[in-house]
Structure 1
Amino acid sequence: MRITHILGAAALALGLAAGPAAADSSPSPSASSGSEAPTQAGTSFRTATEIEQGQRATASGSTGDYMYWSFPADTGQRPTVSATVKLPQAHSAETWQIDVYDGLRRRQACQYGAATRTAEQGSGSVELACVLRTVRSWSEPWADDPLPGTYYVRLTVLGLGSSDLGQPVSTEVRVDSKDIGGAAAVDGSLAEPLVPGIAVKSASEDDGSKSAVLSSIKPDDGWSSGWWTDRWVWTAIGGVLAALAGIGGYALTRGSGRPSQVPPGY
């Protein structure tokens, strides 16, 4: 009966531990449907158009232009940047590419996806995609791991004939993220996210003054606010299983260590 009570308490503890993990594994919140989608792109890092995750941004431009957007990415997210370029009816073969940079303007490699594609002569559009590595909460200074903060998307054409230079194009860009959870959790965290101007703001707050941050975008629930990960659940499960193993081993050794009863008369 005592073992049954212990198993029931362990099952209850596992159920309570798994509850927050289920909430944490939900997809990252996207931009509200009422927010106005951007209809233009920036021409440099400093003028990059800010977009939220889950928001479809459009822009019109000319072949040969550099188009820039920026979006926030937090710890545990694996961003996917997708872009569609609608080309004019008459054009020669041209190669388009999307590049993604972090808050330190370090180019981030695509884990998979077609970040560079060639549009054949006369094709109506070209689609690009770049799936980044999971954003980590902390990294070594010499590493180029993705860290929480602002990310920049640059869309441009690489191979282009002189006859196609300046032709009008229209673009669509969207960023979505998958919440990886505790599988990507690491010890340590940044003091501040890699957002342009955050260091200036921190210094001004120490002096008692106020200074605007260059980038106003951030996750809906704040930076790195989701401290809970399913790694805590697996840690709790491991602890409970270890406790049950210890109790079971004690019960077995106690039962086997009892002296055998000798019948009377011997």
Structure 2
Amino acid sequence: MRITRVLSTALLALGLAAGPAAADSSPSASPSDDSGSAPTSAGTSFRTATEVEQGQKATASASTGDYLYWSFPADSGGRPTVKATVKFPDEHVAQTWQIDVYDGLRRRQACQYGAQTRTAAQGAASVELACVLRTVRAWSEPWADDPLPGTYYVRLTAVRLQAADLGLPVSAELQVNSKDIGGSSAVDGSLAEPLVPGIAVESKAKDEGDDDSASAVLSSLEPDDGWASGWWSDRWVWTAIGAALAALAGIGGYTLTRGSGRPRNVPPGA
């Protein structure tokens, strides 16, 4: 009977702790798409990249041959997915479009999967591209090319164009979402500062008491709950569950082996 109570307690603890862990591994909630505040233009370089919140649908009008740049924040534990749609006029030649993603150090990040480059046939109404990045890590070796927390840049452009194809009007749409991967991607360690252009200058200016330091930051967007929000993961939950189950197993083993504490040759009424 005592063993049954121990096992029931263990199962109950496992169920209560697994609930938050399962919720943590679900896709992260995206901000509502407010068309009134969504960007309607794109930058032409890294320095002029238009900032986009995750979950927003940014739009831009451009011409074939233009380089369109956007930027978005990505924190540790998330796996960003960048999707772009290019819409063409009724009559156009075949065009090949490509989407590239760069981190805060302007290192080109490889797509884990997705159609990063696609060709629109002559007369096609639109072409869709996608790039699913690797999970953003809280820390990495200096020589590694792992995605790290900070500002990410998206570049959308047509490639392998002929001179006669330049200047045709197009419209582009961009949307970024992230899936929270959870403790399976957690690492020990974190960056001193996220890879945001100018944030190191801002931190130094704040230490020196300069109130105008905010102007040094070239990217003002950050995750809703702040940078380094991925310090908590379900790995902590499962570690606690393992410790609790080990303690309960020790109690159960002790209960089984210690007996009733009464010598077998002594009558119960003695």
TM-score normalised by the chain length of structure 1 = 0.90
Counterpart secondary structure, 1:41 = coil
Query: Residues of 2 paired with 1:64 and 1:132: CA distance?
Result: 25
Query: Residues of 2 paired with 1:8 and 1:207: CA distance?
Result: 58
Query: Residues of 2 paired with 1:226 and 1:79: CA distance?
Result: 14
State whether structure 2 residue 247 is matched by structure 1 residue 243. yes
Query: Residues of 1 paired with 2:205 and 2:125: CA distance?
Result: 51
Give the equivalent residue in structure 2 for 1:24.
24
State whether structure 2 residue 40 is matched by structure 1 residue 36. no
Counterpart secondary structure, 2:173 = strand
Shift of 1:106: 0.4
Equivalent residues in 2 for 1:75-154 (5 A)? 75-154=76-155
Q: Contact 2:33–2:55 (CA<8 Å) still a contact in 1?
A: no
Counterpart secondary structure, 2:153 = strand
Counterpart secondary structure, 1:82 = strand
Residue deviations 1:42-75 (CA, integer Å, cap 9, x gap): 0000000000000000000000000000000111
Give the equivalent residue in structure 2 for 1:222.
226
Q: Contact 2:76–2:229 (CA<8 Å) still a contact in 1?
A: no
Query: Residues of 1 paired with 2:258 and 2:116: CA distance?
Result: 64
Query: Residues of 1 paired with 2:79 and 2:192: CA distance?
Result: 21
The residue type equivalent to 1:57 in the other structure is A
Query: Residues of 2 paired with 1:24 and 1:92: CA distance?
Result: 46
Give the equivalent residue in structure 2 for 1:182.
183
Shift of 1:123: 1.4
Counterpart secondary structure, 1:70 = strand
Shift of 1:166: 0.6
Query: Residues of 2 paired with 1:119 and 1:69: CA distance?
Result: 22
Residue deviations 1:172-196 (CA, integer Å, cap 9, x gap): 0000111101111110011111111
Q: Which moved more, 1:232-241 or 1:128-137?
A: 232-241
Residue deviations 1:3-27 (CA, integer Å, cap 9, x gap): 4554454445445534543553353
Shift of 1:2: 4.2
The residue type equivalent to 1:241 in the other structure is L
**Aligned-pair RMSD on alpha carbons?**
2.5
Query: Residues of 2 paired with 1:219 and 1:183: CA distance?
Result: 21
Give the equivalent residue in structure 2 for 1:73.
74
The residue type equivalent to 2:220 in the other structure is S
Q: Which moved more, 1:236-245 or 1:179-188?
A: 236-245
Query: Residues of 2 paired with 1:258 and 1:248: CA distance?
Result: 19
> Compared with structure 1, are the counterparts of its residues 146 and 132 closer, same or farther at alpha carbon in structure 2 (3 Å cutoff)?
same
The residue type equivalent to 1:230 in the other structure is D
Q: Contact 1:94–1:161 (CA<8 Å) still a contact in 2?
A: no
